[in-house]
A and B are shown apart, each in its own frame.
Chain A
Amino acid sequence: MSARLAKGGRLIDRSKAHRFTFNCKWMRGFEGDTLSAALLANDQMLVGRSFKYHRPRGIVASGPEEPNGLVNLGKGDRLEPNQRTTTTELFDGLTAESQNHWPSLENDIGVVNNYAARFLPAGFYYKTFLQPRAAWKHVFEPIVRHSAGLGKAPKDRDADRYEQAYAFCDVLVIGGGVAGLQAALVAGRSGARVMLLEQTGHWGGRAPVDGVEIDGQPADAWVKTTVQALEAMENVTLRKRCMGAGVYDHGYVLADEKVADHTPGDGRPKHRLWRIRAGRIIAATGAIERPLSFAGNDIPGVMLAAAVRDYVVNFAVSPGDRTVVVTNNDDAYRTAIALHQAGLSVPVILDARLTATGALPEQARKLGIRVETNRAIAMVQGGKRVKRVSICAQAGEGAVLEEIACEAVAMSGGWSPVVHLWSHCGGKLIWDEATACFRPDAARPPLNHDGSAMVIAAGAANGALPAADTLADAHRAGEAASKPAGEAPKATAAEEAPMEAVWLMPQGAPVKLRAKAWLDYQNDVKVSDVQLAAREGYESVEHTKRYTTLGMATDQGKLSNINGLAVLADALNEHIPQVGTTTFRPPYTPVTFGALAGEARGEIFQPLRRTPMHDWHDAHGAYWEPVGLWRRPYCYTQGGESHEKSVHREVLNVRNNVGLLDASTLGKIIVKGPDAGRFLDMLYTGVMSTLPIGKCRYGLMCNENGFLSDDGVVARIDEDTWLCHTTSGGADRIHAHMEDWLQCEWWDWQVWTANVTEQYAQVAVVGPNARKLLEKLGGMDVSKETLPFMQWADGMLGGFRARVYRISFSGELSYEIAIPASEGRAFWEACLAAGAEFGVMPYGTEALHVLRAEKGFIMIGDETDGTVIPQDLGLGWAISKKKADYLGKRGQERSFLADPDRWKLVGLETLDGSVIPDGAIAVAEGKNANGQRNTQGRVTSSYHSPTLGKGIAMGLVLRGPDRMGEVLDFPKIGGGSVKARIVDQVFYDKEGAKQNV
C-alpha cells in the first residue's frame, strides 16, 4: 500500500487538511500536496486507463511529464479534462474523476483490447477495417472513436475568465530551480530587467530533494536567501506557477500563469497568459528522468526513481513498504537512501552496470541495502498494482534468477535535459555519449534578429547534470546574458560514477518481453512496436512516431521519445544522433484555449465598432447585421412586422417621402499633399486631379490584376486635399492599400493619408422630401442652384457644423451630411424631428440594397467578387482613356480580360414576376469536358422591388448587353427553373429625373 508517512514532507503543511473526492470517494490530503501526492497518500495507485489497450495506469512521475495521472477535474462549467494530477495543487473540495474507462476504473470493459493486444500492434488499423467499404464510416470508425479520446468533453460555457499581460525584459529566466535562481541573480545584479518564471508553486527545483549543499549550507537555505535577494531587487520580477510555454521569433515568449487553478471561483482570472518580449532567454528548465524499458514497466507502482524520492521527501508519501530500485546510474541510489531514511524497505537495488563503486552505491551498501550489479528486471508482475519483480542478468535474455516481492519499483534510465524551449525556434542539439542524452549545442543556438543567441541553456537543461556543474553553468549563463559577476557559488553533492546507457532490459529480451516493455505509457507503444515500424520501413523518426503514435500523447514524448529513438536506432543499426529527434513544438505543456483567447469573448471577442447613433437604433427596433466589425441596422421593425415587410415599408417611404440612413460606417480617408492628385490618379481608374474644389466624382479602384476592388465618391476639399469615400467594409483595407503603395512604391511622393471614418457621423437624407427636411432644419442653402448634384458645401445646418454632399445611391433626391461624430446622435434626432411632417423614417441596409438595385447601381461584393473588371459592369465611362497608367490598367489589357466575350452586367426580369433565387446560374446547352453543365451567366443581386411590385435582378451574362430581350433559364436548387429576360439594369427612373430635381 502507498501511504502517508507519519513524519516529514518539506512541502506539506499538516496543520491544514483538505478533503477532496476521487471517483466520488472522499479522501484527505494536506495543503502543499499535489493531487498525485494526495492520491498516493490515500493508496490510490490506480488512477487511469491507457489510451489503446485500456491497461491500468498509475502515477509514474512527479512533474508535467506525467503521462498517466490525468483526471477530469471539477464539474459542470468548471470541468477540465486531462488535468495532470502531478501539477494540480490540492485544495479543499477538489473533485476529480479518472478517465477513459467504462463502467468503472477498476472494471473497465475496454480492457478486452489488452487481451487482444497481440492482434492490435502498432498501425494495425492501416491494415484492416478495409472491407466492406461502408463499414469504416458506420461501424469501425465509431468504435475507434468511442474507445479513443481521454477526458470528458465539457458541455458548458467556461465559468472562468482569463487575462493576458505583456512584459518586456532584458533577461527572461525560465525555471526556478537553483540554476534559474543563480542565473537570475547574476543578471539581476548587473542591473538588467529580469523576469524569472517557475512552473510550480515553489522555488528550488530538485536540489533540496537531492540533498545538495551550496556554499556550505543546505540547498533549502540557499534557495531562501537567494529568493529574498531577488525579491529585494526592483529590476527583478519573480513569478511562480508560471510555465514558459513557447519561444517564438525575436525573443517572443508565451508563458502561462496558473493564477487561480488552486483557488477556483475566488474571482481572480483562472490563468494569465504572459506575452513577453525578452532580449535574452535563459532556459533553466532542468532535466527529466527516463524510464527503463523492461517487461511490465507500466504496471501501477512502477515509478521514476526521482519521483519516488519527491513523494517521500516533499510530501512524506510512501509508494509502498518495499520498493525495488532499478537503475543504470548512481543518482537513483539517492532514492534508495531516501526510502531507507524514511524507514521504508528497499529489498534490492538492481544496477544494470557491471560495477557500482561510486560514493552513493557505497553509502547504500553501508546502510545495509542489497546492491546487485549486472542485474535487470525480467518482468514486473501484477495487474492493477505491482506484486513482485523477477530478476535476471542485464547481459542475458531474461532467465529468471530470483523473484522479489514488492509494492513499488523505482526506475532510472538516466536524465534528459529539457531542451524544448531551446529547440522551439531552431536551436540544434548534440548527442552526449557520456550521459546518453541530447543537449543544446551552444554552437548552433536559436538566433535573434542580430544573429546573437536568443536562448542560452543553463544548468541541467544544458546537460550540466551534477549539482556543482549545474550551478557553475547557470552562473556562466547569467553572465552571458548580462555581464561578468565574479565567483559562482559552490554546490557540493555526492560524486557520481558514469552512467551506462540501457535501452532495453535485459539487453537480449525476447519478443515476448519486448511486447510488454512500454515506451509510451499513455498511447500504449511498446519496444516491439517501434521495432515493427522499423521492420516495415517506417525508418524516419517522424514515420515511426506517426506510425506507432510514440510521443504523440499528452506528454508529447517527454518520457518516451529518447527511449523510443534509441530502440529505433538499434533496430536500424544506426547511431542515435543519426536518427535524430522529432520536432519540439510549443507549448511545453498544454495551455488552456481560454488563456490563449484571453478576455476577448462574447460581444467583444472582436472589437465592436458602433456609430454615434448605435443606441438610438437599438432602442428603435434595429435588426442588426454585422458589416466588418461594425453593426448596421438591416431594417427597423415596427409592431410585429416581418423583416421583409419592414424593408418594403422603408423602401416605399424613401421613394414617396423621405428616409434617413445612418451612413457613418462609410469609409472616409483624407488624402493630402502636393502629390495627392497624382497619387489618386494612379489609385482610381478615373481622373481625380482635375476635380474642381467643391465637387464630387464617383471613382473605382482596381487591384494590380485589374479587378474591381472598391468604389466611392471622392470630394475635392481644397487645393491639395481630397476626401475619399470607400465602402463600409473596405475602409481599413483601402487605407492599408494606399499606405502600401505610398510606403513601398512611391515613397518619394509627398502624400499623406488619414482614415477619418470614425471622426464623422454621416446621415443620408433621401427621398422627394429630402430638401424640405433640410430646409426645415435651416441654416444652409441646399437648393438645386446652389448645391447641384455631385457638389458639396460646408455650413451650419440646424445649428450643427455640417458638410453636405449632394450624392445619391438610390436615384432619389439625396443629401449625405457629415457632422462631427460627437454630434451625430443629436443631428440624427434633429433630422427625425424636422422630418416628422414630411413622413421621415429611418431605413436600414437592406432597403439601401433594394433602392440601389432598382436603380441599377452596383454594389461591391455583390456585382464584384474579385473576378470582375469595371468594363464588365458597364463602367467604362469611369475609366480615363487619357491616363498613361493606373493600378489595374496593365492587368485589364491581358487577353482574357480584354476579350469581348465576357460575362457582362445586365438587368434580369423574370417572366412570371417572381424573384430569382440568390446565386442562381443561367445554364447553356450541353456539358463541358468534365461533365459539368455549361453556363452562360449568373445572378449577382436579386430582390423583390416594392416600388415596381415584382422581382428584379442584376446579373453577369455572356455578352449580356448585346443580347437584350433574350430569355435565360435559371435552374433552382431542388428542381424546376426560373426564366428571366435580359433587360436594361436600370429598373427605376431611367432618365435620372428624380435625383436631379
Chain B
Amino acid sequence: MADVIHDAVDYVPPLVVEEEELYHAKTWLGKYVFSQDAKVIAIQYSATAIGVGVVALCLSVLMRLQIGWPDTFAFIDPTNYLQFVTMHGMIMVVYLLTALFLGGFGNYMIPLMIGARDMAFPYANMLSFWFYFVSVVILLASFFVPGGATGAGWTLYPPQAIMPGTPGTDLGILLMLASLAVFIIGFTMGGLNYLTTVLQLRTRGMSLMRMPLTVWAIFTATVLALLAFPALLVSAIMMALDTLLGTSFFMPAIISAGAQTDYSGGSPVLFQHLFWFFGHPEVYIVALPAFGLVSDIISVHARKAIFGYRMMVWAIVAIGALSFIVWAHHMYVSGMNPYFGFFFATTTLIIAVPTAIKVYNWVLTLWRGNIKTTVPMLFAIGFVFTFINGGLTGLFLGNVTIDLPLSDTYFVVAHFHMVMAVSPVLVVFGSIYHWYPKITGRMYNDTMARIHFWCTFVGSYAIYYPMHYLGIQGMPRRYFSYGETEFISAGSGDLNAAISVAAIFVAVSQIFFFVNIIGSLFRGEKADPNPWDATTLEWQTPQTPPGHGNFDDLPLVYRWAYDYSVPGYEQDFIPQNVSPAESERMAKRIEKA
C-alpha cells in the first residue's frame, strides 16, 4: 500500500503537447526589435504603455491646473480641456492599464510561472505588440491633426462625439476609432496566445489548481477581454460608418447649427449599451490581474500560504462571469426602463460578494503572517486599503436612488479613481519592484522606493478624499470652469486648488520611480536569483534574468505555489519544483538540529 502512495506522490504526468523547437533570432533586429521572445515583448509592451501613461499623467496635471486655478493659464481653453479629459481617460484605461497588465505582465509571467519556454504562438505575439505600438502612434497622432484630438469624453457618446461643436470631430474621432480597432485586433492576437499558453503549455505536474493566482487572474482577464472588446469594435465600426458614410446607427434626427442633418432614427442609447457592455468588463480586465499579482505578493512577503486558494480561484471566475451582467449601472440616468435599473442594481451588489471574499482572504493571509514590510508589500497593503475605500463608494453608486443625484459628479470621479486607477497602479508599482530583481538581475534602491510609495499613497488620498465631498455638493465633472452656483460652497475653489497641489505633488514624485528603475539598471547591486525566497517557478530559473527559453530542462512541478512556512521544515518556503524525496531530506535536517 505504501508503495502505491509513493508512486502516486512521485508520479509526473506526461507533457500534453510535445515540445517544439524554439525560434532563435539571428539578427539584432530580430532579437530586440521584432523579437519573438515573450520576455522581450513584455518589456516592449510595458515600456510603451508606461511611456504613453506619462503623457496621460501630464494631461491630468494640465486639467488640474485649470480646475485649481481657473482663468490663470491662457494656454488651456475649453477645447483643450475636453481633449485632455478624453485622452487622459482613454489612455489610462486602455493603452496603459490593459496593455501593461495583459501585454506586459501577461507576457512575462505566464510562460515563466507555468514552466513553459515561451508563448504558444511567438510570431503572433510579436505582431500583437506591433499592432499595439501602431495603435498608440495613431492615438498620439490625433493631437496633431486639424481640429485636434477628440474631446467627446472617453465614453465617446454619440451624437455629440461626431457633431460639430465637440472638439476633434474632423479627424480626431476617426483616428480614435481607428486606433481602438487596431488595438483590439492586436490584443486578440495576444489574448488567444495567453489563453492557449495557459491551457496547453503548462509544464508537467502544473495542474490548473497548482497555478499561481497571478496566472489564474491574467487568464480570466484575457477571457473577459476577448469577449468584451468585440463590443467596442462593433460600436467603433458603426460609429465610423455614421461619421464617414452618413448611416444612422446611433444618430437620431438632429438639428445642427440651425439646419436639419441627414441623420434620422438612430439610437444613442444603443451605443451606450454596446459601450458599457465592453466598459464594465474592462474594469475587471484591469482589476483581476491586479488581484492576482497582489495575492502572490502578499503571500510571499507574509511568508504564508494564501488563505482560501480555491475560493480565490472561484471568486476570480465568478467576478469575471458576473461582470458581463452589470453594465447598465453606468446608465441609470439614460432613461431606461426602471425595472432594468432594479435588475442591474441587484447584480451589481451581488458582484460585491466574490470581491469581498477576496478582500477577506488577503486580510486573513496577513493575519499572523510573518509580515516583511518590503516595498512590494507596502504597495500590496496600500492596494488593499485603497480598494476597500473605492469599493465602499461603489455600494453607494450601485444603488439607483443614490446614484441619480451623484451621477456625473466628482463623487463618481473619486470612486472610479480609487477603485480602478490608484488601486491597480499601486499593484503595478508593487509588482515592478517585486519582479525587478528577476527581470533585470539587479536590486532597486530601497530608500527611494519607500519615498516613492509614501508620496504616491498619501498623495492619492489627498487628491481623491476631498473629491467625495465636492461630489456630494453636486459639483459636476468634465466642466471647464464653474462660475457662480448656488450649490457649490464658497470654499470649494480653495479645496480644488489644494487637490491640484496634491495631484502635482504625486505626479512629480513619480520621478523617484523613474530615476530608481532606470538608475538601478546600471548602478543597482547584483540581485540574488530568488531574493524574496519565493516558491513560484519564475524564481527558479537557471539564469537571472531568465535566458531565451527560460529553463534548461523544463521543471517538474510537485506542489502548489504557496508552500510557505510549512510546519516541520527549517526553510520557510518549498519551491514548486522540489520533489517529495528532496523535501523529505529538507525536513530531516531540522529533526537532527
Real binding pair:
no
